[in-house]
Amino acid sequence: MLGYGLENVHQKKIFKENNKRTQQSKEACPADLVESLMAEMPFVDTDIEDEFVIHATSEINTKNKRKRTTGKETEDSGERKKKKKKQYQPNYFISLPITNPEITESVQAVQDAIIQKDQRLSKAMVRSGSLHVTMLVMHLSNEEEISIAVGALSDSKDFVEDLLKGKKVNLSFQGIDHFRNEVGFVKLAENDHTTKLTEIAETMRKIFQEKGILTGEERAFKPHLTFMKLSKSTQLRKQVKKIDSSLYEDFKRHYFGDEILHRLDLCSMLKKKQPNGYYYCESSIVFGKSHEADFVKEALHRETQALLSRLNQIKELLSSPEIRTKISKELFEDRHNSNSKWKSCIDSGSPNA
């Protein structure tokens, strides 16, 4: 009996120490801080976290068997699932970039109209340079897996071109919809072209999986163009729980334009974006010889736009009276110091004069 009592005291002491360590851990890393850091990650600018979740086959099997497990086993399997979900969180994706100015300008018009009605939602808007359609997502753990994924993308080109048979995939963007009133997106008109796009996505998924790359496979492929999402800002999510669909009522059937499939990119969600707002690109495949020149032209255009943007910033800076006064003052002081030095050299008879 005495031994039992001592054991209880010992267990209580351990429990108390564990609680203390847990509390210290929580204080060292507040939930708000973690959420804030996650919000700064580039992947919050995409629809990937909202639309694709990667699950290992063992997780799916665990889910199917859950009803037959005991309480303790259910808890253990739940912990394992959380651990695996975190481990296989997507960090790369295949992107179909939106390059048609008609579409980007129309999306900008919708965003401007929404912001006029609710200024808070300016934080939810996706930059025009980031607009894309996600074909599939994946988790790449290291440089070796990135290299394998680059190879899988390259191998996909021949298979995709076999599907295309020399024909174009003309994607028509029309109308607006939402996911849980938290993500706003432009819809693709359902026709033979979107059916072909689905075939391409499915073919690429199989190629990547054959290479051993883990891809999202639990949800059906639903191509769409995200232009706003609440998860872009943690502060916004506290202020706005749902996006009011009446804010874009006038655009629900609006025609945004067509995008011809000519390029697919392997993009990183976490690496620094390009100056124009588009994602860091590991590799690309281009369809049709006529589009290769367009690809180079587009790349040059992106770089030119970035330089022009920087030039405009410099011009704006120089237009400030305070900055101009400061520059004039520094130039005058430099000229004055130079003249004083020259005069001093002459007076001293220095040969340097």
The predicted-structure confidence for 5-51, as pLDDT tens digits, reads as follows 444 444 444 444 544 444 443 333 334 333 333 333 334 434 454 44
Phi, psi of 308 (to 5 degrees): -65, -40
pLDDT at 77: 57
Mean pLDDT of 296-324: 76
Residue 17 vs residues 4, 7, 11: alpha-carbon distances, Å: 20, 15, 10
The answer to whether the predicted template modeling score (pTM) of the entire model surpasses 0.85 is no
Domain tally, the chain? 2
Closest by Cα among 113, 64, 92 to 244: 113
CA atoms of 230 and 238, how far apart (whole Å): 10
Which residue, of 226, 258, 287, is where some domain finishes? Answer: 287
Phi, psi of 127 (to 5 degrees): -65, 145
CA atoms of 327 and 339, how far apart (whole Å): 18
Mean pLDDT of 72-95: 66
DSSP string, 217-271: -SSPP--EEEEEEGGG-HHHHHH-SS--GGGGGGGTT-EEEEEE--EEEEEESSS
Residue 220 vs residues 54, 132, 205: alpha-carbon distances, Å: 12, 18, 12
> Do 137 and 267 have their domain in common?
yes
CA atoms of 196 and 267, how far apart (whole Å): 22
pLDDT band at 233 (very low <50, low <70, confident <90, very high): confident
> Do 274 and 299 have their domain in common?
no
> Do 309 and 242 have their domain in common?
no
Mean pLDDT of 310-333: 81
pLDDT at 178: 93
Of 54-63, 239-248, 331-340, highest mean pLDDT: 239-248
CA 7 from centre of chain:
53
> Do 136 and 263 have their domain in common?
yes
CA 197 from centre of chain:
21
> Do 282 and 296 have their domain in common?
no
Residue 261's CATH number? 3.90.1140.10
Which tens digits make up the pLDDT trace of 96-120? 999 999 999 999 999 999 999 999 9
Which of 34-43, 157-166, 255-264, 284-293 has the weakest average pLDDT?
Answer: 34-43
Residue range(s) defining the domain that contains residue 151: 89-287
pLDDT band at 293 (very low <50, low <70, confident <90, very high): low
CA atoms of 268 and 137, how far apart (whole Å): 10
Residue 81 falls within a domain, yes or no? no
Mean pLDDT of 289-304: 61
Structure-token pair, residue 217: 């496979």
CB 138 within 8 A of CB 48: no
CA 268 from centre of chain:
8
Residue 1 falls within a domain, yes or no? no
> Do 300 and 228 have their domain in common?
no
> Do 189 and 314 have their domain in common?
no
CA atoms of 172 and 188, how far apart (whole Å): 6
Mean pLDDT of 129-152: 95
> Do 267 and 297 have their domain in common?
no
Residue 68 falls within a domain, yes or no? no
> Do 234 and 308 have their domain in common?
no
pLDDT at 346: 65
Paired with 187 in beta bridges are 224
CA atoms of 278 and 286, how far apart (whole Å): 17
pLDDT at 21: 43
